[in-house]
Chain A
Amino acid sequence: MSATLPASSTRRAPTRRRGALVWLALAPFGLGVLLFLLLPTLSLVWGSFHRSDGSFTVANYGFLLAAEQLKPFQNSILLSASTMLVGGVGGLLIGQALLSSRSGLVRELGVTFSSVAANFAGVPLAFAFIATLGANGLLTRFWAALGIDLYGHGFTLYNLLGLAAVYSYFQLPLMVLLILPALQAMRGEWREAAENLGASRWYYLRRVAIPILLPSVIASMLLLFANAFGAYATAYALTTGFFPIVPIEISSVISGDVSFDPGQGDVLAIGLAVIMALCVGGQAWLQRRTGRWLER
């Protein structure tokens, strides 16, 4: 741009120097990203391919497939899949209920509630649930007063089912936040057009609404899956770090647990990252496809 300006007293620095200045201004950002994002990631990748003595190996990856390692992955997958479904369906229903409310206040409150609940995950959530559904929790005592002994019947917060119940608390609102834009993009005119052409409500749902919404719903559920898979704090606080899911296994490496080779810990991390990448990638791809559909 500056090359075409006539010379004048307010002439700016020549392009080359300006270019250098720009790169200089970007340096802090680049440095931050390099030092605290890229380097750790590279370290993980490097570590996964090297033994503790520094020699190259792929045996660490073989370790992933060993029986003991499958258990945490199994648990994580189960946990993530179940909360993905519960959160996905529930969030969809709640989101739809929010949008059909005539009151703008209800909608705004709903979005605010969802944001708060989605951010509430972690230590405070775990303790809130313990206070409610723990052995001495409010609800537990409530049911006991009615004669139903929850824990006596085998219910506990500290197994997979209990974890799933707790995870749902932030998965549901996350789904609401994720699916609202897609629900809003549903134009009332489509339903009216279908009606005008003779369709019943169910026919419209089946042939128009659901096909349009499905990609967004799946994309959002993928994010829900990733969210649950990578969650650490909630599970840790709830089970004091003793439940075999992948994030907790990784944390035990950090805490110096000697049962793992550091390289093997890296492999776990890489495995986790790959799963996250697949979910995020899948979601991005689906969103792009739907985006093209829904634009005018």
Chain B
Amino acid sequence: MARLELRGITKRFGDQVAVAGFDLAVENGELVTFLGPSGCGKTTTLRITAGFEQPDTGEVLVDGQDVTALPPNRRGMGMVFQGYALFPNMTARDNVDFGLAVRQRPVAERRRRVDELLALFHLDHVATHYPHQMSGGQQQRVALARAIAIEPAVLLLDEPLSAVDAKVREELRTEIRRMQVQLGITTILVTHDQAEALSISDRVVVMDRGVIEEVGTPARIYAEPRSAFTAGFIGAMNELPVRVVSQREGLVEREGRRFAAPGATELPDGAAGLLLVRPESLQPLDDGAVARPGTPILRGRVEVQTFLGATTRLLLGDLARTDQDLAGTGAAADRGGSPEQLAVDVPSSAAARWPVGSELQVAVPLASTRVIAARSAADAAAPRPSTAAAPAGVPAAGGR
């Protein structure tokens, strides 16, 4: 159990910047996940923490002590490698025992501890098996047990579930979390799988291209992403270009209509912004249904239906907006014919109501939206539903 601090970590490979200005404090017993696409620097940061790479600048501190200069075999951290890296010439038992043997603990103590760990991870029946005789899930648990055997201050997991079957992955990640909580080990997990990150972490560090985009609890970064990258990376997100007209009042404007949305008060007047709304937050309106006054309504034609299990995602094109609220101006819906699209999640049982080609109106509940600064000029052009993976817990379309 220890407090881990990474201060000002920077690392370059040639002229490639792998990590820049990384600052993070991980509290005692916390499980923090580094989440991001390939090449974002998460594994490099982990390896720097473990000691397999030296940072160009910055320090690694464990309980206040600077360990940056220590070699990996003296840092007291346990690491689980992406491919498990079990020693092929040793049984499960010998693998788990390795760190203890290095420290030359008394044989009786070693045997007791190994037995304890094998039991904890349900590995008793493969104790005398070699790695090539074990399944991926068993190998992974041996790797975990081996890392924990030495009672490390910090546990480092490098994409521990990437080589495991999808079915086993869910079970294993729950088990990892359960074990981590039970033992109270400060843990860093590196992954590109957001379902994994969101489901078991205390906090998530979203990274892109070597820098930290955001840090927060899974719930917060899912519901209220602060950066465009995070919004696009975590779950599916609709992004509608808007322009801030009044920071003081928190008003934004889109296609001549104005409304107040959360987050607008943090952007300057005139700024280009993105209105973020999750597909599951949009409310489809049946004929005759009426939205609450003041709620913008969008109308579109269903172009694609994607079955996701419990929900079905409708992709709407041909967007237009009607505004039942602004009485008197009587603006009829105008069809823009622009390439905008909107993703709307509906319960699969109801999806038949809106087959492909049909028209659908959705209400946009402003309270569930958020305005953030647009990424670049390109974003101000066409809104698009993010193409990120389906939200946690929902099987991918088509199944694998």
A residues with CB within 8 A of B: 187, 189-190, 192-200, 203, 207-208, 211-212, 292-296
Point out the residues of chain B lying under 8 angstroms from A199, CB to CB.
73, 98, 102
A198 touches B89 (CB 8 A): no
Question: Within 8 Å of chain A (Cβ to Cβ): is B81?
Answer: yes
Q: How far is the CB of A206 from chain B (nearest CB, A)?
A: 11
In the complex the two chains form, what is the Cα distance from A207 to B146 in whole Å? 16
Q: How far is the CB of B64 from chain A (nearest CB, A)?
A: 22
Given contacts A187-B85, A293-B89, contact A197 B50 (CB under 8 A): no
Point out the residues of chain A lying under 8 angstroms from B132, CB to CB.
292-296
B88 touches A293 (CB 8 A): yes
A197 touches B98 (CB 8 A): yes
**A185 and chain B: residue at smallest CB distance:** B88
In the complex the two chains form, what is the Cα distance from A211 to B88 in whole Å? 10
Question: Within 8 Å of chain A (Cβ to Cβ): is B103?
Answer: yes
B83 touches A296 (CB 8 A): yes
Point out the residues of chain A lying under 8 angstroms from B82, CB to CB.
189
Chain A proximity mask over B61-98: 1 for CB below 8 Å, otherwise 0 = 00000000001111001110111011111100000001
B81 touches A198 (CB 8 A): no
7 CB contacts below 8 A, A to B, read A195-B72, A197-B78, A197-B102, A199-B102, A207-B101, A292-B132, A293-B89
Point out the residues of chain B lying under 8 angstroms from A190, CB to CB.
85, 87
In the complex the two chains form, what is the Cα distance from A292 to B89 in whole Å? 11
A196 touches B88 (CB 8 A): no
Q: How far is the CB of B334 from chain A (nearest CB, A)?
A: 59
B73 touches A200 (CB 8 A): yes
Q: How far is the CB of B47 from chain A (nearest CB, A)?
A: 9
B89 touches A196 (CB 8 A): no
B89 touches A189 (CB 8 A): no
**A201 and chain B: residue at smallest CB distance:** B73
In the complex the two chains form, what is the Cα distance from A196 to B79 in whole Å? 7
In the complex the two chains form, what is the Cα distance from A194 to B95 in whole Å? 10
Given contacts A195-B71, A196-B50, A196-B73, contact A189 B85 (CB under 8 A): yes
A-facing residues in B24-81 (Cβ within 8 Å): 50, 52, 71-74, 77-79, 81
Point out the residues of chain B lying under 8 angstroms from A192, CB to CB.
52, 72, 79, 81, 85
Point out the residues of chain A lying under 8 angstroms from B90, CB to CB.
208
Given contacts A187-B83, A195-B73, A197-B73, contact A212 B102 (CB under 8 A): no
Q: How far is the CB of B72 from chain A (nearest CB, A)?
A: 5
Question: Within 8 Å of chain A (Cβ to Cβ): is B99?
Answer: yes
List 8 other contacts, CB 8 Å, given A192-B79, A193-B87. A192-B81, A194-B98, A199-B102, A211-B89, A212-B87, A293-B130, A296-B83, A296-B132
Q: How large is the interface on B (under 10, 10 to 19, 20 to 34, 35 or more residues)?
A: 20 to 34
Question: Within 8 Å of chain A (Cβ to Cβ): is B245?
Answer: no
Q: How far is the CB of B189 from chain A (nearest CB, A)?
A: 16
Point out the residues of chain A lying under 8 angstroms from B207, CB to CB.
none
Given contacts A193-B79, A196-B79, A197-B99, contact A208 B87 (CB under 8 A): yes
Q: How far is the CB of A75 from chain B (nearest CB, A)?
A: 37
Question: Within 8 Å of chain A (Cβ to Cβ): is B150?
Answer: yes
Point out the residues of chain A lying under 8 angstroms from B52, CB to CB.
192, 195
Q: How far is the CB of A263 from chain B (nearest CB, A)?
A: 48
Q: How far is the CB of B56 from chain A (nearest CB, A)?
A: 19
A294 touches B73 (CB 8 A): no
In the complex the two chains form, what is the Cα distance from A197 to B102 in whole Å? 8
In the complex the two chains form, what is the Cα distance from A18 to B103 in whole Å? 68
Residue from B50, B88, B147 having most chain A Cβ neighbours under 10 A: B88
Q: How far is the CB of B143 from chain A (nearest CB, A)?
A: 8
In the complex the two chains form, what is the Cα distance from A189 to B127 in whole Å? 22
Point out the residues of chain A lying under 8 angstroms from B101, CB to CB.
207
Partner of B99, one of A187, A198, A208, A211: A198
**B136 and chain A: residue at smallest CB distance:** A296
Residue from B87, B89, B150 having most chain A Cβ neighbours under 10 A: B89
Point out the residues of chain A lying under 8 angstroms from B85, CB to CB.
187, 189-190, 192-193
Point out the residues of chain A lying under 8 angstroms from B146, CB to CB.
193, 197
**B133 and chain A: residue at smallest CB distance:** A292
**A295 and chain B: residue at smallest CB distance:** B132
Residue from A193, A194, A295 having most chain B Cβ neighbours under 10 A: A193
Q: How far is the CB of B235 from chain A (nearest CB, A)?
A: 33
Point out the residues of chain A lying under 8 angstroms from B73, CB to CB.
195-200
Q: How far is the CB of B1 from chain A (nearest CB, A)?
A: 18
In the complex the two chains form, what is the Cα distance from A293 to B134 in whole Å? 11
Q: How far is the CB of A290 from chain B (nearest CB, A)?
A: 9
A198 touches B150 (CB 8 A): yes
A196 touches B72 (CB 8 A): yes
A196 touches B87 (CB 8 A): no
In the complex the two chains form, what is the Cα distance from A89 to B73 in whole Å? 30
In the complex the two chains form, what is the Cα distance from A189 to B146 in whole Å? 14
Partner of B102, one of A198, A293, A296: A198
A-facing residues in B115-139 (Cβ within 8 Å): 130-132
B102 touches A189 (CB 8 A): no
Point out the residues of chain B lying under 8 angstroms from A198, CB to CB.
73-74, 99, 102-103, 150
**B52 and chain A: residue at smallest CB distance:** A192
Point out the residues of chain B lying under 8 angstroms from A197, CB to CB.
73, 78, 98-99, 102, 146-147, 150
Point out the residues of chain A lying under 8 angstroms from B71, CB to CB.
195
Q: How far is the CB of B77 from chain A (nearest CB, A)?
A: 7
**A187 and chain B: residue at smallest CB distance:** B85
Point out the residues of chain A lying under 8 angstroms from B150, CB to CB.
197-198
Point out the residues of chain A lying under 8 angstroms from B74, CB to CB.
198
Residue from A190, A195, A196, A292 having most chain B Cβ neighbours under 10 A: A196
Point out the residues of chain A lying under 8 angstroms from B147, CB to CB.
196-197
Point out the residues of chain A lying under 8 angstroms from B99, CB to CB.
197-198
B103 touches A196 (CB 8 A): no
Q: How far is the CB of B188 from chain A (nearest CB, A)?
A: 14
Point out the residues of chain A lying under 8 angstroms from B83, CB to CB.
187, 189, 296
Point out the residues of chain B lying under 8 angstroms from A211, CB to CB.
89
Point out the residues of chain B lying under 8 angstroms from A296, CB to CB.
83, 132
In the complex the two chains form, what is the Cα distance from A61 to B88 in whole Å? 45
Q: How far is the CB of A184 from chain B (nearest CB, A)?
A: 14
In the complex the two chains form, what is the Cα distance from A190 to B147 in whole Å? 13
Point out the residues of chain B lying under 8 angstroms from A212, CB to CB.
87-89
Q: How far is the CB of A189 from chain B (nearest CB, A)?
A: 4
